[in-house]
A and B are shown apart, each in its own frame.
Chain A
Amino acid sequence: MDDKMEAEKKEQDVYILAIESSCDETAAAVVKNGREVLSNVISSQIALHTLFGGVVPEIASRKHIEKINQVIQEALDEADMTLDEMTAVGVTYGPGLVGALLVGVSAAKAIAYAKKLPLIGVHHIEGHVSANFIENKELEPPFLCLIVSGGHTHLVKMKDYGEFEIIGRTRDDAAGEAFDKVARAIGLGYPGGPKIDKAAREGNPHAMEFPRAKIEGAPYDFSFSGLKSAVLNYLNHEKMRGEEVSRNDLAASFQNAVVESLVSRTILAAREFNIRDVVIAGGVASNSALRAAMKVACEKEGFRFYYPSPALCTDNAAMIGAAAYYEYQKGTRSGWDLNAVPNLKLGER
């Protein structure tokens, strides 16, 4: 391709058909130029998995197979576009449940192949971070991002699009995992995050004092298993004493401990690395207490604080389309042998 053609091509709009099926949501979206969402369709299986108290991988995978074409077609219809108008296909290839990932990956590969479109494998967590580009048009790297979800708790410096430096991470449970486990213990059920958030609004966050773990020599790392155990021990102890525990107070106090850990390390890192843009991403980023506390802390420090609306915090394909766009611009292309990588690490390809 000569320079002129290359330049012309660069000026054209880029439409990404994005597909996401890493856990229990079958999702597809059409995203224009990485920031404009033309459609964002999500078929949730939460009701189905609630019967089992959590996501059942085999059931999730089977549901994805049933829904995948309808969801993709709906995304195209809502965007009022056809596959022929797409520039590329982006798909989550990890991390996640292998059977669930395989449905999206196999379908995306087949569609890209049949339509002779470039294929771009996207890291699910990079997708979560990229969700922030959709609603914050002015946001550009570098920035500091706290990624908090059921599987991840990472503090990363996003140096450029698709370029991450991990500054801190959890040593044990992810924040979202701790939410789920505590929610189960106090009988709130699945999914734990939103349920604890709701209960905590009616509770006193200082009713009980739970530990905030600090890791020696790793000021930006997290640990939530000790906190989780402290909550469970407290529950058992009160039960043996025959005391009634206020579920709302417990939820609020637990949540407060998690939020404090998350916010304090994020602010510490932003100061240390002299980054003035702070971003949160992932399912737990929709937690109202975390958003409120981070907002206050950032305002105090004079940092700009960005966060996606709740619908873009949970799994969706629009965020995958946003991430795929920047990968597309960098020239990233996946082959027809693209595989699902269930334990894909952040920063890995």
Chain B
Amino acid sequence: MKILGIESASLTASAAVWEDERLTAEYTVDFKKTHSQTLLPMIDEIVRMTETDLETIDAIAVSGGPGSFTGLRIGSATAKGLGLALDKPLIHVPTLDAMAYQHFGTDRLICPIMDARRGQVYCGLYEFHSEFQVLKPQAAMDLKELLEEINEKKRPVVFLGDGVPVGRAVIEERTRVPFVFAPSFSCRQRAGAVAALGAEYLKAGRTEQAGDYAPEYLRVSQAEREMLERKKRAEGPAKETIS
């Protein structure tokens, strides 16, 4: 089984070749958002280094969001183009799931956080003691609400992701369970994790046609949001409840 992994949801651009339970190549750059210029040359580099014939891959695993809309588009369009040309299926791997998947063996709750701007984070809750489990599917929410949910679980937690530096002060102030921050080598998106988790999905038959693939933004566009708000206002003031 051979999988090409693609990750460009956030600041990290990453590509990986995964073959028979082995990560044969991974190229990860967490530097500048120039994915449209760097992603395909990175794929080309590892494909050549591992002498991979792209026609022989089984599927393309792609980090499916949430994340930067632009980053998701570059990764999605690249994966879709490859899928079309090679006639291979795509595997939609939720971005936060793949981030959590790096933390095998921990007893802790795994909590990846991405900065979602507008006072929110993209987050999810996972467990990977032996089997990988999604306890809370990825969502956009207020960081403080997330921390309350975590406090209620009464379990130690490991935080990771580019949302950590942004929300660090709030996390340190409000987390009432033992917590740690993941080290630098396992705290960002990686295509190796996307490909490895993608392999599990592929085994379970969770693939889709390249033409049908679209990323999961977890947010509507600003224009749609503003239109909804206008509609709400036009329908009269919402009944306020005092909590």
Residues on A close to B: CB < 8 A?
51-52, 56, 58-59, 61-62, 64-66, 68-70, 72-73, 83, 98-99, 102-111, 113-115, 335-340
Contacts and interface: CB of A to CB of B under 8 A. Distances in A.
B215 to A, nearest CB: 7
Contacts of A69: 80-81, 83-84, 210-211
B74 A73 contact: no
Contacts of B43: 113
Main SS class of interface, B: helix
Contacts of B85: 83, 110-111, 113-115
B142 interface: no
B82 to A, nearest CB: 5
B40 A110 contact: yes
B47 to A, nearest CB: 9
A61 B224 CA distance: 14
Interface in B75-130: 76-86
Interface of B: 34, 36-41, 43-44, 54, 69-70, 73-74, 76-86, 210-211, 214-215, 217, 221-224, 227
A340 B36 contact: yes
B78 A58 contact: no
A106 B223 contact: no
Contacts of A70: 211
Contacts of B40: 106, 109-110, 113, 336-337
Contacts of A109: 40, 78, 81
B222 A106 contact: no
B97 to A, nearest CB: 20
16 contacts: A52-B227, A56-B224, A58-B221, A61-B73, A62-B214, A68-B80, A68-B81, A83-B85, A102-B70, A106-B74, A106-B77, A107-B77, A113-B82, A114-B54, A114-B82, A114-B85
Contacts, number: 109
A22 to B, nearest CB: 14
Contacts of A107: 77-78, 80-81, 84
Nearest to A66: B214
A68 to B, nearest CB: 6
B1 to A, nearest CB: 19
Given A59-B224, A68-B77, A337 B37 contact: yes
Given A65-B76, A107-B81, A111-B82, 11 more contacts: A52-B227, A56-B223, A59-B223, A61-B73, A65-B80, A102-B36, A106-B77, A106-B78, A109-B81, A114-B85, A114-B86
A269 B222 CA distance: 45
Contacts of A61: 69, 73
Given A58-B223, A339-B36, A114 B70 contact: no
Main SS class of interface, A: helix
Nearest to B6: A110
Contacts of A51: 227
Given A69-B80, A73-B84, A110-B81, A58 B69 contact: yes
Contact of A73 (B39, B73, B76, B211): B211
Contacts of A64: 77
A115 B88 CA distance: 13
A72 B84 contact: yes
B77 A103 contact: yes
Contacts of B79: 110
A225 B162 CA distance: 45
B231 to A, nearest CB: 11
Best-buried of A103, A106, A109, A335 by chain B (most CB within 10 Å): A106
A339 B37 contact: yes
B69 to A, nearest CB: 6
Contacts of B223: 52, 56, 58-59
A106 B84 contact: no
A110 B80 contact: yes
Best-buried of A52, A103, A113 by chain B (most CB within 10 Å): A113
Nearest to B80: A69
Given A52-B223, A114-B81, A337 B38 contact: yes
B86 A103 contact: no
A340 B73 CA distance: 12
B116 to A, nearest CB: 15
Contacts of B227: 51-52
A56 B83 CA distance: 28
Contact of A99 (B38, B73, B83): B73
Contacts of B214: 62, 65-66
Contacts of A98: 70
A266 B88 CA distance: 51
B17 to A, nearest CB: 14
Nearest to B84: A69
A13 B84 CA distance: 24
A172 to B, nearest CB: 26
Contacts of A340: 36
